[in-house]
Structure 1
Amino acid sequence: MIIFSYSPRSQSSPMRTEINRPFDMPLHMRKKTTLMPSSAFQPAQGKAWIWMDGAVAPRNAFVRFRGSFRRPRAKTVLLRISADSRYWLYLNGVYVGAGPARGWPNHWKYDEYELSQSDLRAHNVIAVLVNHLGEGTMQYVPAPPGLWANVVASGPGAPRPILTTGRSWRCSPAAAHLAAVPRICVQEGFEEQFDARREDNWLAPQYDDRRWPRAIVVAPPHPRLAPRGVPPLTRELVVPHCILRVERVRPATHVWTLRLRGVIVPGDLTSNICFVKGYLFTQVWSASAQDVTLIRPHNHSCEFQVNGRTVPALVSGMTAPIQPQSVRLRTGWNRLLFPYPSLEPSTDGVRPAGAVHLPQFSLTATARRPLRWCSKGERGGAAWAFVGPFAFTRAEREAIAQHMDHPHIGLPTEIDPSADPAAYTAASRSGGMDDRLVDAAYFHELSASDICSYDVAAGAFADVPVGPGRCRDAEVLLSNGGGWAELVPGKVGEDVRLLIDFGREVVGHHLFEVEAEAGVVLDFHNFEFIQVDGRENYADGMNNSFRYICRAGWQRFRSLQRRGFRYSWLIARNFRRPIRLRQLNVEFSTYPQVRGGSFSCSDAQLNRIWETGAHTLRCCAEDTYTDCPSYEQVHWVGDARNEALIDSVANGDSRLWYHCLEQAAQSLEYAPIVLSHVPSAWRNILPAWSFLWMRSCHEYLLWTGDYRGARKLLPWVVRNVDGIVRHLNSKDLFEIQAWNMFDWAAMDTPSRGVITHNNCLAVVALRECAQLAEWLGRPEIAARFRAVGRGLASAVNRHLWDPRRRAYLDSIHEDGTRSRVFSQQTQVVALIAGVATGAREQRCRQLVRRPPDKFVKAGSPFFEFFLLEVLAQEGREREFLDIIRRDWGFMIEQGATTFWEMWSLKTGRLTRSHCHGWSAAPTFFLSAEVLGVRPTQPGFAECMLAPKLGDLRFVRGIVPTPRGPISVQCTREGKAVHAEVRCPAGVKVQAGRPANRLNRVTVSRW
């Protein structure tokens, strides 16, 4: 049996988690993978990394590697492996695993697998598929490509090397994995497109690879490797819940996605925001005058020109619906001119004109008669050109300088001083295209590598339903029994699609079997939610999609990428004979859930809310906590703080918590305070997230008792505090140019100036980390933290309280102007921090309970985590429960199976992401406050029992702790309240403030 090993960080007892059997690939045997700990191992550096010599795609390269070894006479054989950027590992044709876990370049990860003798043959072949992204994402910092692996026989004495990556390995381009594809989004890598016609039997051990070139040894892309530190993800098969629709559709006739980073900011591989002023230009030849439908699916909404006539702008903003636009083309050549990215600031005021995070443009065109595209018309050449960049005006440059990411932005370095956008647009309107403008230095024809082969999401958005389709025996798809479903083709020019509902939010890999002719295309387009009003909430702004091109006959497929969704369109294209389908599953792939916690009470709605929050947390836990499984899959540091607390009561497994804290700490090698999300090629500071990381370091020791891990974190905390101190202004207030958000709401938090909530969060973080330092026996550090915190608190009260409004204002602008905006959010954080005392405290509590009409109010479930914290402090039990019922109950009533990112959109759509870990607050608070179990000393050496029943008749549940589970049952009988507690030996239980309401407390030991 193949064992995945990791090096445990803490001294806690090892866990053994069985992972569900993997889906069978064509050459796979069924394997059961288990998780076991192993000792830490530092791989040898030097000439151990390999890559392919010759032409490899600079972006999204896929390379296949094969190495072989004879079975050693050893009880234990270990296989260690890492790659940049990603690997998929096979042994003798059997899928073993994928990795590595995300990490910073200086803290790159490796994986370790234990191979049993039953896994091995006399002659063994390791096959590895490696994908090198070649550019940064919000999960990956770009580095050179490479593969590192070794096999060692372990026994008495030193490990004996069996196989190491080197010249003995063979390699070949993986042509079946298409490289020239769109990015999924700025947060993630590339859309998966696989052409099975180009795939051979290379995974099979008997495959003849002698024609493959030998690998070359390359310099290590990473100076050192560290153990993965967290277990592998689950592999649980999920079958569809139902088939909602079968439709015939008319597809777009042209689908374009243009990659523009190379012409806008050549050489920049980061994900930093860049600013540019320019145009995308093409000429379209039409055999006759006709109306053509254009769709710009990914948030490009500004006005554009067709033959000099302006086509009006669309409704813009996040989650704006897909909006087709009809344009009239004349006979012959037609000129299309799109400002890129936009000549106007964003409608939400967040970004000035010219800002773009992912330089990529998508357009679909649906026409009745053929079209031909060429940027230079009859002169030939590339289909598209970028015109620019043009110089920004002084006012535009000043707006850019105020941006939250300045100076970490990309500005084009080569701007032709003679370039004049007005002259270009004037020429376009005149009816003729001056050859001098087409031949100008700032007219850049896009290369073939900049024009993507296809865009699955864009194509799916453009599909127009024309009638019902047919799928024979569709019920076969709802189980993994025998038989096939048969998809019947439509008329000529039509495709057929099925809408599949998996019943709830899932995250993982698509699996299916298909029998079809060569060249049949299966496009999958996923989304999360269908509103009560029937609106399908597509993943606008990103490609939650992939393409599979069939070879002839029967075949199986497992997608490489994890995707989060509930609904999936399966769109069959280019087929004239029926397609047979079965085993259309999802391999649910998340961090293993121990589920050591539970909660139930007399209110069924609250029980469902707790479970929904636990499922939300699961979907947002992989090799780190992530914000969401669909749009980003990013380790946002502030989100992770809340998620860790939720995880602690739902599961009680602290390994992922520590891993995230350490990974966030390592960002201090790049910034004065912890970055907003890690690891990432977007260098961004969000101070509130940095201070929440500090709080989480304190909470980690409190909830886990892991002194060893906390001691490793404390120097990083000191370094973060040093960054805070360096950014205290002359008034002793924290001030830094950064992204100063706290909630998706209309707070006044400019990128420059003094932000009240930042200062308050710094105060509470310093206070809690002072206690952390004391627990770790460092009183001198604790004293320093307290001194800095007291100074900040005093400065907040001197400068950020408005005596006329009797409230803390949101901010003081860079020019000294005091904000006129007051918010519920700022008052809540002032209360949590304890900066509001006496009469100010009472006033803030009034404002939080009943915010005035002109106050900014809660904009997301994330902020209400902190609101619930304040209500719990005050003992307002009924109001506490009613807010949970109202706001999270609303999502349940709307059909949510996971909790949403926000609920404050104005577009008629309820939210962007329908699964956001930061929104699962009730799961934590129902266990920690309603059930009433919290630690008061590290590791639950002491805990407080303070149940808050409100209007509930009973509450019962289990809170996992490092010492064992604590079980509580609390019942109300008339006015009397009785509590029964079972807890591990060595845990001291104290009654909390509501003790006078407990008529009897019975404590027993496990």
Structure 2
Amino acid sequence: MIAVLVNHWKDGNFQYIPAEPGLCARITDEKKNTVCETGDDWMCSRAQAEREDVPRICVQEAFEEQYDARKEDDWRQADYRETRGWTKALIVPDSHKRMSPRPIPFLGGESIRPVRLVGVEEVKPAQSVWNFNLKPCFAPEDHTSRFCFVKGFLTTLAHSARSQTVTLIRPHHHSAKFWLNGEVMPPVPDDADHDIVGQEVAFRRGWNRLVFPYPGYNDKMASSLPAGGAHLPAFVLSVRANHPLRWACRGKEGDEGWAFAGPFPMDEDRVAAMRRQVDFPRVLQAAAISPDATAGIAGRIPFASEAEWRGWAESPWLQPIRPAEADSFGSSAGDKVTRSLPAVDPAPLLSGNGAWRLDPPAKGHDIRMLVDFGKMLVGNVEFSIDAPEDAVLDFHFFEFIQVDGRINLANGMNCSFRYTCREGIQSFRSLQRRGFQYMYVTARNLGRPLFIYDLKVCVSTYPQRRLGNFACSDEQLNRIWQVGADTLRWCAEDTYTDCPTYEQTHWVGDSRNEGLVDWIANGDSRLWHHCLLQAGQSLERSPIIESHVPSAWDNILPAFSFLWLRSVKEYYQWTGDKKGIGTLYPWLRRNIKGILKLRTEEGLFRLHAWSLFDWAAMDIPSDGIITHQNCLAVLGLNDAASLAAALGKKEDARNWKKAAGSLARSINRHLWDEAHEAYLDCIHKDGSRSDVFSQQTQTTALISGVAGGARAIRCRQVVENPPRAFVKAGSPFFMFFVLEVLAQENRGREILDIIRRDWGFMLAEGASSFWELWTLSTGRLTRSHCHGWASAPTFYLSHAILGVKPDVKNPSLIEFAPCPGNLKWLRGSVPVAGGVVNVHGQLKSGCWHYRVHVPGGLRIRNRAEGVDVVIIRKK
């Protein structure tokens, strides 16, 4: 028997473009003869145990996993023969015309058990938990993940038999001011926007009207998202109360509970302003606004009398809404710790040998444990238990606990899943991959003790070859190299991803850095090539390479489009893969064609798009002439020209080099500011010149060659020591380019000092993987604790410090130019086209001595001056 579980998401996200559901399967023998394939002789049935009506994890990912073991029908068993409830499969037209063989290996990895039981606690669950999907209220036919403009409110009536204090918890940043009985309630404090914070409000005896604005971000979030804008149309609320509450939305007898009031028309000038503010032109506006939904009524909603609400009861814009069937994260967010429980020997839990026992808590309470897996990882959770019927296990995952004890919950997403138990011994393995170090497990409805026989994570990553390595006399640097390689691993699956937790998305700019780190650590080009090709295919719907692919949010971030050009050249430089470049080159040419069409009369690149380059206070509006974009365009065009020359495509090389030179001259003519002796960040849409100057812009001007002569000297000064008034580095991603400046000049001591300072800081704070950001103003260190774009040291320690540098014109020619800084010895293996170069260096009597082992067929050019170098040919 062959059985397949088919999972269709319906709604798009940052990993999936909506398409019709279906299954196409074919099994062949060793001679590729078809043995079995899908057809009308197959049977199908809805998977009863996998719940459908569940919350979205986040806009980037799909849906929270919820599994009800009470509904299992054993269809996975080899002897299963039950056909009741099964129907013949329906044959549908094939909408997937370009299916192709998988070009990369399957994911896999080791199994990892917890290393520590942090604690066990008794918790009192929230009285009510809601998670609402609001898009059907204003864009019911849309299944994309585009940014939404909408104006509306969520409202309900809560009946309390007595006056009482009620705690309202709004995770996922829905933390703006709201109204209770017509009185404005304050927002969640800005410094709490990454934690779960409860707000206490006074409910009077009888009925209480609650009105929440939607979107409802606090001031800090609203500074980065336009008022009236939302990316995931959802609302989450947990309510703690000591006495029972009854909920209604239309009348006081009890009904659907909640309603969405709206959508209401938005002021046209405000919409225009939001479109200018928002970084992406392709947005979704609320459709089918009722003629009765006037701006005047919208203004009355928060303060309306009961008579007004009764008059609106049947209005089409007052839409009853149903929440998801259950919300594991919302339930965990609403739990209140009542006491810590005595320590129990964790040995059975940590070893998987024996049974670890959880006893039922006090009546009306649940019990939860916090386990630590010792390091960041990504994979599928697997467990074996003996449980009572109807017990519920809520799993809630997060990445980090700071040295100061602050728990960094993965707020903004449902990093969670729910398992409902049948009676007896049972096992389960989750479908979804999750990234985390820590796991809360909350056991609810325990009618008898729960026994855990095994709990582990089955790691799921792209296979790691680890052909590269690095070691030196500084143990901190050795640790940094290894943590960078591990960070890359947790961000490598079917594509490179930005992070294994929050998004699991193939961001093209992140992928450029990750491809270099992956090659240095593993010497495997398949995933790198796959990502480059996948990004190139986004040109089928956009003028230049999109920011992340595949995605239901068709978004462009020009800096990433230009970095893709660089990555194609670097792919050939390190791998020498002419066949692979042959499949990429048409997309390279098409991307450049799109770029050149977007030049202004002044010869500068301009596109209304997302202008991000670093998480810093640069002046980078979505519509204007952005200096760093133009500099990166010059760099990308020159890199493409050098690749074309290496491939013998002389006309392309000549044209692209000419275009790069013309663009560079325009930058110097229009974007240099004599008074500040620096390149300004941008020229705004209205023609005004920015008064913001940044380390980031000067860095791109320098590495692109746009800055020459005295301007290059000035840019170098800013890169090394930015003036007080200049915007400074905001993320490890940007430091990749600062290190590139230093590597071009063989300045090993400065490279090592920066790595020790910035990445050593993360290690000192307890990091087992490198972060998205350095620090946040809230006191939390970063949003994401595992970001592949932050692994720059792994690349530069091998490439710049060991000094192995392939020639783009001839990848089999290796330039050897080590810059060991203040090290005493170093060694390492660096993958290149045709093999691995091994370097051993030792400082003796004030002179460096190197032995370099070079694979046969490669040539090496020694650029190391004043040192002793012995080249050894490997057969």
Q: What's the CA shift for 1:424?
A: 5.2
The one-letter code sitting in structure 2 at the alignment partner of 1:368 is: N
- Mapped to 2, the partners of 1:1000 and 1:612 lie a distance apart of 30
Structure 2 match to 1:869: 740
2:331 is paired with a residue of what secondary structure?
helix
The one-letter code sitting in structure 2 at the alignment partner of 1:172 is: S
Structure 1 match to 2:326: 454
After superposition, what is the alpha-carbon deviation per residue over 1:861-909, rounded to whole angstroms, capped at 9, x for unaligned? Answer: 0000000000112232212111100000000000000000001311100
Structure 2 match to 1:585: 456
Structure 2 match to 1:542: 413
Asked whether 1:205 is paired with 2:81, we answer: no
- Mapped to 1, the partners of 2:231 and 2:178 lie a distance apart of 20
Asked whether 1:651 is paired with 2:522, we answer: yes
Asked whether 1:500 is paired with 2:371, we answer: yes
Normalised to the residue count of structure 1, the TM-score between the two structures is 0.85
Structure 1 match to 2:264: 390
After superposition, what is the alpha-carbon deviation per residue over 1:728-773, rounded to whole angstroms, capped at 9, x for unaligned? Answer: 0010000000000100000000000000000000101100111111
- Mapped to 2, the partners of 1:979 and 1:432 lie a distance apart of 85
- Mapped to 2, the partners of 1:945 and 1:463 lie a distance apart of 59
- Mapped to 2, the partners of 1:925 and 1:389 lie a distance apart of 52
- Mapped to 1, the partners of 2:521 and 2:603 lie a distance apart of 40
Structure 2 match to 1:961: 832
Conserved? CA contact 2:742–2:751, under 8 Å: yes
Residue in structure 1 matching 2:97, options 206, 209, 223: 223
Q: What's the CA shift for 1:573?
A: 0.8
Aligned residue pairs, count: 873
Q: What's the CA shift for 1:431?
A: 4.3
Q: What's the CA shift for 1:558?
A: 0.3
Structure 2 match to 1:172: 45
Q: What's the CA shift for 1:1002?
A: 3.6
After superposition, what is the alpha-carbon deviation per residue over 1:80-128, rounded to whole angstroms, capped at 9, x for unaligned? Answer: xxxxxxxxxxxxxxxxxxxxxxxxxxxxxxxxxxxxxxxxxxxxx1110
Asked whether 1:662 is paired with 2:533, we answer: yes
Asked whether 1:999 is paired with 2:874, we answer: no
Q: Go from structure 1 to structure 2 and tell me whether the alpha carbon gap of 1:428 and 1:542 turns closer, same or farther (over 3 Å shift).
A: closer
1:547 is paired with a residue of what secondary structure?
strand
Q: Percent identity?
A: 50
Residue in structure 1 matching 2:21, options 137, 142, 145: 145
Larger mean CA deviation between 145-154 and 230-239 belongs to 145-154
Q: What's the CA shift for 1:258?
A: 0.2
Unaligned runs of 5+ in 1: 1-124
Conserved? CA contact 2:467–2:521, under 8 Å: yes
Conserved? CA contact 1:307–1:429, under 8 Å: yes
Q: Go from structure 1 to structure 2 and tell me whether the alpha carbon gap of 1:344 and 1:814 turns closer, same or farther (over 3 Å shift).
A: farther
After superposition, what is the alpha-carbon deviation per residue over 1:843-864, rounded to whole angstroms, capped at 9, x for unaligned? Answer: 1111111111110000000000
1:216 is paired with a residue of what secondary structure?
coil
After superposition, what is the alpha-carbon deviation per residue over 1:902-941, rounded to whole angstroms, capped at 9, x for unaligned? Answer: 0131110000000000000000000001111121146741
Structure 2 match to 1:308: 182
2:619 is paired with a residue of what secondary structure?
coil
Q: What's the CA shift for 1:327?
A: 1.2
The one-letter code sitting in structure 2 at the alignment partner of 1:619 is: W
The one-letter code sitting in structure 2 at the alignment partner of 1:286 is: S
- Mapped to 1, the partners of 2:83 and 2:168 lie a distance apart of 49
After superposition, what is the alpha-carbon deviation per residue over 1:636-663, rounded to whole angstroms, capped at 9, x for unaligned? Answer: 0000000000011100000000000000
Structure 2 match to 1:924: 795
The one-letter code sitting in structure 1 at the alignment partner of 2:555 is: N
Unaligned runs of 5+ in 2: none
- Mapped to 1, the partners of 2:219 and 2:20 lie a distance apart of 36
- Mapped to 2, the partners of 1:610 and 1:142 lie a distance apart of 39
Conserved? CA contact 1:519–1:574, under 8 Å: yes
Asked whether 1:130 is paired with 2:6, we answer: yes
The one-letter code sitting in structure 1 at the alignment partner of 2:450 is: I
The one-letter code sitting in structure 2 at the alignment partner of 1:194 is: Y
- Mapped to 1, the partners of 2:324 and 2:443 lie a distance apart of 20
After superposition, what is the alpha-carbon deviation per residue over 1:566-620, rounded to whole angstroms, capped at 9, x for unaligned? Answer: 0000111111311000210000110000001110000000000000000000000
- 1:820-839 paired onto structure 2 within 5 Å: 820-839=691-710
Q: CA RMSD in A?
A: 1.5
Q: What's the CA shift for 1:162?
A: 2.2
Structure 1 match to 2:437: 566
Asked whether 1:641 is paired with 2:512, we answer: yes
Structure 2 match to 1:630: 501
1:151 is paired with a residue of what secondary structure?
strand
Q: What's the CA shift for 1:347?
A: 4.6
Q: Go from structure 1 to structure 2 and tell me whether the alpha carbon gap of 1:893 and 1:990 turns closer, same or farther (over 3 Å shift).
A: same
- Mapped to 1, the partners of 2:221 and 2:64 lie a distance apart of 28
Structure 2 match to 1:44: none
The one-letter code sitting in structure 2 at the alignment partner of 1:846 is: Q
Q: Go from structure 1 to structure 2 and tell me whether the alpha carbon gap of 1:468 and 1:904 turns closer, same or farther (over 3 Å shift).
A: closer
Conserved? CA contact 2:226–2:278, under 8 Å: no
1:732 is paired with a residue of what secondary structure?
coil
Q: Go from structure 1 to structure 2 and tell me whether the alpha carbon gap of 1:453 and 1:316 turns closer, same or farther (over 3 Å shift).
A: farther
Conserved? CA contact 2:247–2:255, under 8 Å: no
Q: What's the CA shift for 1:288?
A: 1.6
- 1:242-253 paired onto structure 2 within 5 Å: 242-253=116-127
After superposition, what is the alpha-carbon deviation per residue over 1:332-368, rounded to whole angstroms, capped at 9, x for unaligned? Answer: 2211100000388765633321100000000000111
Q: What's the CA shift for 1:437?
A: 1.7
- Mapped to 2, the partners of 1:976 and 1:407 lie a distance apart of 58
Conserved? CA contact 1:352–1:396, under 8 Å: no
- 1:269-418 paired onto structure 2 within 5 Å: 269-316=143-190, 319-342=193-216, 347=221, 349-404=223-278, 406-418=280-292
2:3 is paired with a residue of what secondary structure?
strand
Structure 2 match to 1:40: none
Structure 2 match to 1:689: 560
Residue in structure 1 matching 2:337, options 458, 462, 465: 465
Structure 2 match to 1:190: 63
- Mapped to 1, the partners of 2:302 and 2:89 lie a distance apart of 52
After superposition, what is the alpha-carbon deviation per residue over 1:406-459, rounded to whole angstroms, capped at 9, x for unaligned? Answer: 54111112123442355455465354242222222211111x4xx101111121
The one-letter code sitting in structure 1 at the alignment partner of 2:288 is: E
| Relative contact order, higher structure (CA 8 A, sep 6+) | 2
1:131 is paired with a residue of what secondary structure?
coil
2:216 is paired with a residue of what secondary structure?
coil
- Mapped to 2, the partners of 1:535 and 1:472 lie a distance apart of 24
Structure 1 match to 2:573: 702
After superposition, what is the alpha-carbon deviation per residue over 1:117-145, rounded to whole angstroms, capped at 9, x for unaligned? Answer: xxxxxxxx111001110010000000000
Asked whether 1:952 is paired with 2:809, we answer: no
- Mapped to 2, the partners of 1:187 and 1:878 lie a distance apart of 40
1:377 is paired with a residue of what secondary structure?
coil
Q: What's the CA shift for 1:959?
A: 0.8
Q: What's the CA shift for 1:494?
A: 1.2
Conserved? CA contact 2:168–2:237, under 8 Å: yes
Conserved? CA contact 1:687–1:738, under 8 Å: yes
After superposition, what is the alpha-carbon deviation per residue over 1:972-1002, rounded to whole angstroms, capped at 9, x for unaligned? Answer: 113211100111111111112xx22313334
The one-letter code sitting in structure 1 at the alignment partner of 2:207 is: W
Q: What's the CA shift for 1:964?
A: 1.8
Structure 1 match to 2:645: 774
1:569 is paired with a residue of what secondary structure?
strand
Asked whether 1:436 is paired with 2:311, we answer: yes
- Mapped to 2, the partners of 1:202 and 1:302 lie a distance apart of 47
Residue in structure 2 matching 1:236, options 82, 105, 110: 110
Conserved? CA contact 2:246–2:254, under 8 Å: no
- Mapped to 2, the partners of 1:566 and 1:939 lie a distance apart of 43
Conserved? CA contact 2:642–2:808, under 8 Å: no
After superposition, what is the alpha-carbon deviation per residue over 1:646-691, rounded to whole angstroms, capped at 9, x for unaligned? Answer: 0111000000000000000000001000000000000100000000
2:669 is paired with a residue of what secondary structure?
helix
